[in-house]
Amino acid sequence: MKELIIIKEGEIALKGLNKSNFEDALIRNLRHRLKSLGRFVYKRSQSTIVIMPEDDNTDLDTAMERVSKVFGAAAVCRAVTAPKDFEEICAAAVPYIAESIMQAKTFKVEAKRSDKKFPMNSPEICKELGGRILDAYPHLNVDVKNPDVTVTVEIRDTNAYIHAGNLPAAGGIPVGTSGKALLLLSGGIDSPVAAYMMAKRGIQLAAVHFVSPPYTSERARLKAERLCEKLAPWCGDMPFYCVPFTEIQEALRGNCPEELFTVIMRRLMLEIAQRIAGKNDMHALVTGESVGQVASQTMGAIVCTDDVCRMPVFRPVIGMDKIEITALARKIDTFDISVEPYEDCCTVFTPKHPKTRPSLSEVRTAQDSFDYEPLIEKAVNGAELKIIKNSF
């Protein structure tokens, strides 16, 4: 029995002249995720990509799991191949579908004949194969409108493929097709979800994480790195910049009015982030802000932080509530790490009464009363880079 994986393209299928660029990127990403599992041949036709293992005993369970996290595919299925002969198709199909069909009460057969020279037409294939399946699994009934399982037979150019249903895949468009951006990654719940959402739109991400030793511990930095590891199956390998932020926070504490501390700190974070981005061919920032969630995320505070930005800031969770964000964090398996209780540099020196409606002019004046520029440059130059590899 020879098995393979079929990827059904999602949005890519709707692309025009540049469709092949998106397919190339999808195949590149699939190759990258599967290369440690063995050798595969990739074939594209009719808005699907067929992945054929070259070696017997390839671990297709793991391959399916990895493939289902690669953005750009709408659905994925595991199929068996058979020569283009009806008896051979039945011999392969009947035992192959056993597991899927055992729990089902109803089924139907769907035939897709891209090879029009095949001697039976689609209705004939459906009827005959349906009969063979009923003989083998007498507990089943046919239901063409709303079956529990759809058995699909695809007669392609060289072979027939048979499978018992698609599974939903990651959706979106392939990472790398929408340029690069820098994610401000805290140890919290929201920013990893923001990363997942922007990677889904094809953006390749690096992460920047601010640390304030000795106020924040080494464990806080490791927590952010572990979050990157969890993101890597979705986002691909991620450059991780760790920025020393202690001096800036101490300077802020000594020089700015306490109630404006948070908003000025966020302006400085975004300033540092955009300089790192600019030096590394990244053209946007990504944060996990959600409007109204905390004092630094009121409309007024966002206006004040955006004031320093010379590049777009994407905030994909801006309109989501905590329950929705948490559901996604669980789906991408970052939630359990995010709720580990290590201090984040934002929670160190949190003012008792942050201003929720700071005016831009008072914030600018307060920030200008001290020369932060040398500290900003020092933080940018002091960023430590590590590449977080997709280690599965």
**Binding partner of residue 293 among ligand ATP, Mg ion, none, CB cut-off 5 to 8 Å per kind:** ligand ATP
Q: How far is the CB of 191 from Mg ion (least distance, A)?
A: 7
Q: Under rule CB under 6 A, which residues in 181-210 are in contact with ligand ATP?
A: 184-186, 188-191, 208-210
Burial of 195 (0-12, 13-18, 19+ CB in 10 A): buried
- In the range 279-308, which residues lie near ligand ATP by CB under 6 A? 287-289, 293-294, 296-297
> Among residues 9, 23, 154, 344, which is the contact residue for ligand ATP, using CB under 6 A?
344
User: Whose Cβ is closer to Mg ion: residue 159's or residue 338's?
Assistant: 338
Q: Which residues contact 97 (CB under 8 A, 6 or more apart)?
A: 133, 149, 151, 162, 164
Q: Which residues of this protein are in contact with Mg ion, per CB under 5 A? A: 186, 188, 344
* Stretch binding ligand ATP (CB under 6 A), from 65-73, 106-114, 247-255, 343-351: 343-351
Count of Cβ atoms closer than 10 Å to residue 327 Cβ: 12
Nearest-angstrom CA–CA distance, 160 and 155: 4
Residue 89 vs 231, nearer CB to ligand ATP: 231
Residue 261 touches which member of Mg ion, ligand ATP, none, C-beta under 5-8 Å by kind: none
* Residue 274 burial (10 A CB sphere; 0-12, 13-18, 19+): buried
* Per CB under 6 A, 271 contacts ligand ATP: no
- Shortest Cβ distance from residue 67 to ligand ATP (Å)? 28
Extract the tokens encoding 129. Answer: 């194969």
Shortest CA distance to 322 belongs to which of 171, 232, 235, 193? Answer: 193
Tokens found for residue 105: 């009460």
In the bound state with Mg ion, the residue whose beta carbon lies nearer, of 173 and 346, is 346
Dihedral in degrees, nearest 10, Cα atoms 304, 308, 312, 314: -50
Q: Report the partner that residue 191 touches, choosing among ligand ATP, Mg ion, none (CB closer than 5 to 8 A by kind).
A: ligand ATP
Query: Which residues ranging from 141 to 180 are in contact with ligand ATP (CB under 6 A)?
Result: none
Do 137 and 149 contact (CB within 8 A), yes or no?
A: no
Site residues (vs ligand ATP, CB under 6 A):
184-186, 188-191, 208-210, 287-289, 293-294, 296-297, 344-346
